Amino acid sequence: MRSIAVSVFEPKVVAFVCNWCTYAGADLTGTSRIKYAANVRMIRLPCTGRIDFLLLLQAFGNGADGVIVSGCHPGDCHYTSGNYHARRRWILFRRLIDFMGIDLRRIHFTWVSAAEGAKWAEVVNTVVDDVRKLGPYTSFPKRLDRVVLEQLAAAGQSCPVHGPAAPVTTLDGDACGAATLAAPAEASV
């Protein structure tokens, strides 16, 4: 009997974490050998108070299906008030992502201290399970916008995918072959 390989969706989750608390908590998770989903790629920041929330949008644009932002508990910030700044920005950012039509369940904001390895594992597993239920995030454009190609053609510029050897000379952007809706080089998440 032949078996058919079934592709199971495994979400890509990017976590922007505080160096002093959450990153140390995630390290404790590993050293304590607590099992959690391996779908998370961590980006260590000095403090969540310094995060530019456009980075979250950029993560989605680069193929992430979900995002976690995690820092020190309020009152425990290494930089005194960074997590308060992050929380205020998060309140505003939630409105923006809701307006953009991004499902709020794809982004999770939490506090995890250096001593909470088990909590980090729980957060990661919960977010990965939630995003898995939502399915892949495909709303961000993965291809060149036709308007951009038309502007390049009008300016006599070269194809942004194929370089100077392939000038974009038509409004369709087809001069270089695959330029019309060619996917740009994808960044690894």
Domains of the chain: 13-134 (3.40.50), 146-176 (no CATH)
Q: Tokens 């270089």 belong to which residue?
A: 176
**Closest by Cα among 115, 153, 147, 101 to 20:** 115
| Residue 56 confidence (pLDDT) above 70 | yes
| Residue 151 confidence (pLDDT) above 60 | yes
**Is there a contact between 98 and 113 (Cβ–Cβ < 8 Å)?**
no
Whole-number pLDDT of residue 99 = 81
Question: Mean pLDDT across the chain, nearest whole number?
Answer: 81
Instruction: Name which residue leads in pLDDT, 60 or 17.
Output: 17
How many CB atoms are located within 10 Å of the residue 73 CB?
A: 13
| Averaged pLDDT, 152-172 | 56
**Is there a contact between 38 and 10 (Cβ–Cβ < 8 Å)?**
no
Whole-number pLDDT of residue 51 = 87
Give the model's confidence band at 138: pLDDT under 50 very low, under 70 low, under 90 confident, else very high: confident
Give the DSSP H or E segment for 126.
helix 117-134
Q: Tokens 């080089």 belong to which residue?
A: 185
| Averaged pLDDT, 64-86 | 93
**Is there a contact between 59 and 11 (Cβ–Cβ < 8 Å)?**
no
Name residue 69's amino acid: V
| Averaged pLDDT, 179-189 | 42
